[in-house]
């Protein structure tokens, strides 16, 4: 997995670019708010591929865009 700092920063940047709150992203991705907060803050450095896929789809990007 890529550097978790990169992952969390990319998710945050993409979310903010789209004007979404963490709560709104969690609803769009069908994830708990706690999951989104932990992934975005880096407290969950190894999210499942399913979680990343849900986040990527909600942000209209590919998983690759989250980990670059």
- Give 7-61 pLDDT, tens digit per residue: 999 999 999 999 999 999 999 999 999 999 999 999 998 899 999 999 999 999 9
Is residue 3 predicted with pLDDT exceeding 80?
Answer: no
Is residue 1 predicted with pLDDT exceeding 50?
Answer: no
**Residue 22 to residue 37: CA distance in whole angstroms:** 7
Q: Which residues have a Cβ under 8 Å from the Cβ of 28 and sit 6 or more positions away? A: 20, 58
In a 10 Å sphere around its CB, with 0-12 CB exposed, 13-18 middle and 19+ buried, how is residue 42 labelled?
middle
**Residue 64 to residue 68: CA distance in whole angstroms:** 6
The architecture of the domain spanning 4-67 is Orthogonal Bundle (1.10)
Higher pLDDT pick, 4 / 25: 25
Q: Taking the model in full, what pTM does it have? A: 0.91
Three-class secondary structure of residue 4 per DSSP: helix
């Amino acid at each position: 997995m890529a550097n978790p700092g990169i992952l969390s920063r990319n998710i945050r940047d993409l979310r903010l670019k789209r004007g979404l709150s963490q709560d709104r992203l969690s609803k769009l991705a069908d994830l708990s708010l706690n999951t989104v907060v932990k992934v975005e803050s880096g407290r969950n450095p190894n999210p499942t591929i399913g979680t990343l896929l849900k986040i990527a789809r909600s942000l209209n990007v590919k998983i690759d865009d989250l980990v670059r």
